[in-house]
Chain A
Amino acid sequence: MLSVVVFAPLALGLVLLAVPRVPDRVVLWSWVAVSVADLALVVALWIGYDPVSGIGHETNLRWIPTVSAGYHVGVDGLSLPLVAMTAVVFAACAVYSLRERRAVRPYVVLFLLLQTASLGLFVALDLILFFVFFDVSIVAMYFVIAGWGHGERARASALQFFLYTFLGSLVMLLGFIGLYLAGGTFDIVELAASNPLAGQGVLGGLVLLALVVGLAIKTPTVPFHTWLPPAHGDAPAAGSAVLAAVLLKMGTYGFVRIVMPILPESWRQYASVIVIVGVVSVVYGALVALAQTDLKRMIAYTSVNHMGYVILGVGAAGLVAGGAEQARTLAVTGAVTQMVSHGLITGALFLLTGVLHARGGTYDMAAYSGLARPAPRFALLFAVAAFASLGLPGFSGFIAEFQIFTGSLGQAPVATAIALLGILLTAALFLLALQRVFLGATEVPAGRHIGDVTAVEATAIVPLLLLALVVGVFPAFLLEVVEPAARAVVELVAR
């Protein structure tokens, strides 16, 4: 059934390609139907999954036996929440895109391809399978940005995005090949069990370097983040939402799924470097976001900041000497929760900026003022999303960041203290943005009318924020799935 969830969007995409002359409305609604059905299936998978059983819904078929690569998929506490988040975000984007009028069929087909690639990546338990989905997502996103982005600049941004992340993926592939040569297989579960590079200091370090650089480019962390703001700035709203909510998680997910379990020794050895990279991303991302005048680029930089917390958490989990296992488990749980939370909230924020761009034609914050009067519901939604993003208690971001900080404090007190500054900075920048855009006398770009959020847009955005609220108030249903898997990872790292 997992394979059905993964490949249903692709199947619809092929059907849409093959059938001539489908009306645009049918194309859009069929995407909504499939992504909602996919979401329902994921919910069924979640209900049928037993958190203490390890990997569930597993399929393991021979694929390329010559290099021991297989079609091995399954979900556990690390991937299931991300699969669910992906399904939710894509459903929201499908609804949001109902008003898309430009070249609808290729647009929808590309998103369906992205959907399959994203779901497939999170359930992949084989390095080659993981890599295939990783690269397909890059290609599809390139076309989304280049084809439906804003103007000539979008093509340059798309090219930069492609070259940068493609380079990252190939560096990662070299790391995979290193793992294969050491372990004799591409199967993630087998590699994690055999710990092939134990006791091979330099080689382990090199493979770790390749994997970390590859994943850090995708995440992105400072100093590999420079592709992100232009790509977001010029991408269409749904593209940005998917890019930030889902594609960035591929990087951080790679850390907990691949790097930490398979390279425990090297991870422990270099964990302090990871922690520092995380903290720098947190602070630098927040500071640069503070300086932005373009709303969308600002949110893009807050993604660097939020991903920094995740890196801090997974890095702290490698500092075995300093803290109890309980604390490290908490840090990893928080990191996974943060991935889910960031996906929901930033997805909503990018869709909201899309709403603004559709009305006003620009992301420049200076062009707007006092929008709370003409568009009160929009202002309310944006404020909720902004507060959720800055980590207000009651929303998922708070739960995640609280766990990361609590879990990391024992091992890396200084780093954690510095990272706390990031919270302060994000709070300041979101409040500043809210104040600039929504309060004061109403001003809009010349000749534009700012209407309020429509029912379709609200249907896309509100569920994302509601889910962030649900996770924030009743986190148990999520945490009891994540926690056993996080503990397993921590035990693997500590061996």
Chain B
Amino acid sequence: MGQKTTLYQKHLDAGARIVDFSGWDMPINYGSQIKEHNQVRMAAGVFDVSHMTVIDVGGDDAEKYLRYLLANDVAKLDQVGRALYSAMLNHDAGILDDLIVYRMSFGYRLVVNCATRGKDIRWMIQNTDGFRVSLEEKPRLAILAVHGPESVQKVCEVVADSQANQIRELKNFRGIEMDSWFVARTGYTGEKGLEFIFPAEEAPELWEKLLAVGVLPIGLGARDTLRLEAGMNLYGHEMDESISPLAANMDQTIAYEPTDREFIGRPALIAHKHLYESGEVPKLVGLVLEGRGVLRKGQKVVTDKGEGVITSGSFSPTLKHSIALARIPISSQSCEVDLRGKLTGVRIVKPNFVRFGKKVFK
């Protein structure tokens, strides 16, 4: 038996199929992954992602420390409540993890992947030398993500009026602290939505209230197809320690400026950049299969410039055909995938398929 969130019984009550997720017993779906996916694209759904790891960073040097630790620059967070997506690199510029960092009244809050928790925490502690900084893991906090075009409106129906007024005003990638609650306009679906980071014992009550106004529970299966349609990376798929951010479509998340900011992985990354320009680093693209069949992680890709691999693939419930993310030689023009022994032509597109319920690639 794995670890359980405070919503475990609620998941069972909602008919969840439970699977092991990095040591946690989590809901993969509550019946139909496709229905749940469509619910988020068309209305509103709630995900329990309390298995994710929250780490608060405080102390006089919190900003200095994070500017050294992360490839994106927390100095961009010029106001409390702002959020930033960043890679955490090792010295070879391999990706240790990807994370969200929020600027908080007390310092910073990081949300990192649960599968990489141990190694992230070790790495973070290892690199505190010379910084006056405190790190605190927050295992007693739950995370609920409410996403979909109706999400904000539904949330505002169930929270106190004073909270609703503040939540309604939130802009994308902004959050607000409300006593022991933190609520932010962030997420992993390509839809409008909110994430609640709050005391785990209060999660069942909010869950019940959301379900009572028609928000439906969404499993981690639909979370995966939603993020894939949105072209978002998943650690262990598009990224790992052997992959450069340049080969994971993450160049935009690296803060090269100011050039005098030293961060872990910078020298190696500059070297990657030269290799990338000379075509020696692969790139992450989107693949589209408009015919029958489903692209899957691990399938071999053959292009006019060499071989590549599918890093994530599935059926897109919104587009009703298969899509994938793949790492392929940089200037590839045409592409075939080994689909169960049969080479099948696919189209190369930008790695972004659906935003706000609509097809976005050409």
Binding partners A and B:
no
Enumerate chain B interface residues (CB-CB to A < 8 A).
none
A interface residues, Cβ below 8 angstroms from B: none
